[in-house]
Chains A and B, each alone.
Chain A
Amino acid sequence: MADFFLESILNLVGFAVGMVIGTISYIGFRNTGSPTLFRLTLAFFAIGAGFIIMWVGQTADMFVYKTGQPAQWVQTVGIGVQTVGYFFIAFSHTIKSFFPKSGYLRSVGVVPLFLISFISIENIIRSISFILLAYGAIETVMSYFESRRKTALFVAAGLGALAFGEFLGWYYFVFPQSVLGVASISTKIGGLILLFIPVTKVPLTKMKFDENL
């Protein structure tokens, strides 16, 4: 029950953050025609949709099917849709390479991938999410050094926390029944809150959402 409650909070926070940032990006796209904002719109709507799909799957199982384990395919679809969102964030930074070049990172990262990648598609998708999020976080930090905009640090920390949450969730399959599950969800919630901070700085009071601006 505690796991259900915590995961519900994560999924609902993820849905809310995704929808709010997606909507603001969409307003920006409508007002400026910027393809970057269009990609951010797709990214955050996909992230929000992925979270709500997972929440629906969990809630349906909890109150309707009562099997004690949400349908695996629903969780996989939810994570897959989220990964599409992470892909668009990484794509906006122009992906140069899908995998870290550092030998150390590769040695740490490959172990759980090798252990669990044959268990289910979900774990493969999680590993892709991790790489995309880590890439996005690194690129955002790099851009901070150019722009010195402090909100970029919050976004970088948010993406980093989401990546770390995915990483912990990944190991949770290797070491089930450990504290890693709760740690993963808590880290992701923290990451989503950090991602939301720059949105609070956008003055939308005078923005028109109008074809005839």
Chain B
Amino acid sequence: MNNYANTILPSMSAIYRTHMKIIGDILTTTRDDLPDEQGASITYLIRKANISHSRISKILGTLVSQGLLEQTNSSGTFKYKISNVGREFLQAYNTFNKFADSFGLTI
């Protein structure tokens, strides 16, 4: 398994699926729905992903450390943009989400 998949997808439980969906939503937002060129702030992502600050902070930290998101410091606030690796991961996620959906399952 890929390093980032090992790290950001820790368990095989129901929580895992929610976690995976949240990651998909965050990556999709940072790819398709950025408020400005600098990237999306944590507040913006919290609103889009609809999760708590503490939870999204952990997820963002992991996504940045795994190279799926790029973090920039703009006027004292951190902003996030999807990286090329993140785009490839998101493409794989969307493709195999449809594949699993065909079997009536969710990845």
What is the interface of chain A, defined by CB distance below 8 A to chain B? Answer: 24-25, 28-37, 40, 89, 92-93, 136, 139-144, 147, 149, 151-152, 154-156, 198-199, 201-204, 206-208, 211, 213
Contacts and interface: CB of A to CB of B under 8 A. Distances in A.
B104 A32 contact: no
B73 interface: no
Contacts of A89: 103
Contacts of B12: 35
7 tightest Cβ-Cβ pairs between the two chains A and B: A33-B5, A143-B104, A140-B104, A28-B96, A198-B102, A34-B107, A31-B92
A198 to B, nearest CB: 4
A202 B99 contact: yes
Contacts, number: 106
Interface of B: 1-2, 5-6, 8-9, 12, 16-17, 20, 85, 88-89, 91-93, 95-96, 98-107
Contact of A34 (B9, B85, B98, B104): B9
Contact of B20 (A28, A34, A155): A34
Nearest to A138: B104
Contact of B102 (A31, A149, A206, A207): A149
Contacts of B91: 206
A36 B2 contact: no
A30 B89 contact: no
Contacts of B88: 208, 213
Contact of B104 (A24, A31, A139, A211): A139
A29 B5 CA distance: 9
21 contacts: A25-B99, A28-B92, A28-B99, A28-B107, A31-B92, A32-B92, A32-B93, A34-B96, A34-B100, A35-B12, A35-B16, A36-B100, A36-B106, A37-B96, A93-B105, A144-B104, A149-B102, A152-B101, A156-B104, A207-B92, A208-B92
A206 B85 CA distance: 13
B5 A32 contact: yes
A136 B104 CA distance: 9
Contacts of A34: 9, 20, 96, 100, 107
A149 B105 contact: no
Given A28-B96, A213-B2, A36 B107 contact: yes
Contacts of B16: 35
A155 B103 contact: yes
Contact of A33 (B1, B95, B99, B103): B1
A152 B95 contact: no
B85 A213 contact: yes
Contacts of B107: 28, 32, 34, 36-37
